[in-house]
Amino acid sequence: MAKLLVTGASGFLGSYVCELAQARGWQVWGTYYRQCPRLAGISLQPLNLADLAAIAALLQAVQPDAVIHTAAQSKPHVCQRQPEITYPINVTAAVRLAQLCAEAQIPYVFTSTDLVFNGEAAPYGEADAPTPLSHYGVQKAIAEAAILAAYPLATVCRLPLLYGAATPTASCFLSAFVSKLQQAEPLCLFTDEFRTPVSVTCAAEGLLLALQTSGILHLGGTERLSRYDFGRLLAGVLNLPETRLTASLRSQVAMPAPRPQDVSLDSSRALALGYQPQSVRVALAKILSAAAIASPAE
């Protein structure tokens, strides 16, 4: 049985990748930093990404056949306020993993973001040059280039806004949206910020598919939506009135990290490889019917 090492197994995306890979027949090893996730049948190891020696030791011990690197400090406001602390995690560790995978000649998939773009020329294809606005976007763009320079056979997957059921160790904005809509609490959403959201399950499928290719791969959904548009679809699936939503403008809200207006992704290459994102409405209906949407345990 082939071994897959997934960093960030306690994170939102990483936990879904672990479970899906296991269902697909991989022997999965997952890493976490502080909180050990509850993932049955998966070998879990603590890992501090700031410790490069620990990264090398883990790969030497596990001897994986492939690596999917989802671990990161993915909160833009944290990166904006603490770039010197987050750079080693988001850049240095990711590049070191690429070097180790190159030495072992095994597939390496790195998760990047649509926020490497400034939002002025959407939709973005893989050949479009990064133009990040925030420290988070800058760090991911630097990591992308350095990874592909160190290991041209690596795969850089740019991901959009992800949504799905929260896990015991990772939250998702969807939980709060559902709660507020159901309780008729104010839910104020931007109408002037656009992305191509995709369910976390679909993103996990895309990352496993990415093990079969190399270069840059966009894993966006097929719909360009604002947060307000997303909220309207969610209200419809919940059979709740759209009047519970309030429209607002991102451009009028001060934020620690600058956010681009439109980072919609063109994912034609992934679609040609077999990537099959569902419509947001269909995906939301499946998520809401499969499990209760609740916040993770404290």
**pLDDT tens digits along 50-103:** 999 999 999 999 999 999 999 999 999 999 999 999 999 999 999 999 999 999
Out of 10-14, 41-45, 293-297, pick the least confident: 293-297
At residue 250, the pLDDT reads 86
* Structural domain of 123: 3-164+198-222+265-277
At residue 30, the pLDDT reads 97
**Is 187's pLDDT higher than 90?**
yes
Give dist(CA 9, CA 21) in Å, integer: 12
**Is 117's pLDDT higher than 70?**
yes
End-to-end alpha-carbon separation of the chain, Å?
Answer: 35
Out of 21-25, 155-159, 249-253, pick the least confident: 249-253
Give dist(CA 12, CA 262) in Å, integer: 24
**Is 174's pLDDT higher than 80?**
yes
**Is 293's pLDDT higher than 60?**
no
Give dist(CA 297, CA 167) in Å, integer: 9
Tens-place pLDDT, residues 230-239: 999 999 999 9
Answer whether residue 16 is part of any domain. Answer: yes
Instruction: Judge residue 146's burial from the number of C-beta atoms within 10 Å of its C-beta, 0-12 exposed, 13-18 middle, 19 or more buried.
Output: middle
Q: What is the CATH number of the domain that holds 150?
A: 3.40.50.720
Give dist(CA 107, CA 95) in Å, integer: 14
Residues 6 or more apart whose CB falls under 8 angstroms from that of 259 comprise 76, 115, 119, 133, 134, 193, 250
At residue 290, the pLDDT reads 81
Residue 164 · residue 287 · CB < 8 Å: yes
Tens-place pLDDT, residues 217-253: 999 999 999 999 999 999 999 999 999 999 999 888 8
Q: Cis bond leading into 132, ω under 30°?
A: no
- Phi and psi angles of residue 31, each rounded to the nearest 5 degrees, phi first: -110, 155
User: pLDDT-based confidence at 210, cuts 50/70/90?
Assistant: very high
Answer whether residue 36 is part of any domain. Answer: yes
Average pLDDT, stretch 269-287?
A: 97
Q: Cα angle at 163 between 154 and 112, to 5 degrees? A: 25
At residue 291, the pLDDT reads 61
SS3 content of the chain, % helix, strand, coil (to 5): 40, 20, 40
How many domains does the structure of the chain reveal? 1
Average pLDDT, stretch 103-119?
A: 98
CB atoms within 10 A of CB 280: 22
| Residue that wins the pLDDT comparison between 124 and 250 | 124
Answer whether residue 295 is part of any domain. Answer: no
Q: Which of 272, 287, 233, 271 is nearest to 16 (CA)?
A: 287
What is the chain's mean pLDDT, rounded? 95
Answer whether residue 27 is part of any domain. Answer: yes
Answer whether residue 232 is part of any domain. Answer: no
Answer whether residue 217 is part of any domain. Answer: yes
Give dist(CA 268, CA 219) in Å, integer: 9
At residue 298, the pLDDT reads 33
Residue 65 · residue 104 · CB < 8 Å: no
**Is 186's pLDDT higher than 90?**
no
Give dist(CA 207, CA 275) in Å, integer: 10
At residue 292, the pLDDT reads 56
Q: How many CA atoms lie within 13 A of 253 on its CB side?
A: 15
Q: Which of 7, 11, 17 is nearest to 169 (CA)?
A: 11
Q: What percent of the chain has pLDDT over 90?
A: 92
Average pLDDT, stretch 110-128?
A: 98
Answer whether residue 206 is part of any domain. Answer: yes
Residue 4 · residue 22 · CB < 8 Å: no
Q: Token match 């809509």: residue?
A: 181
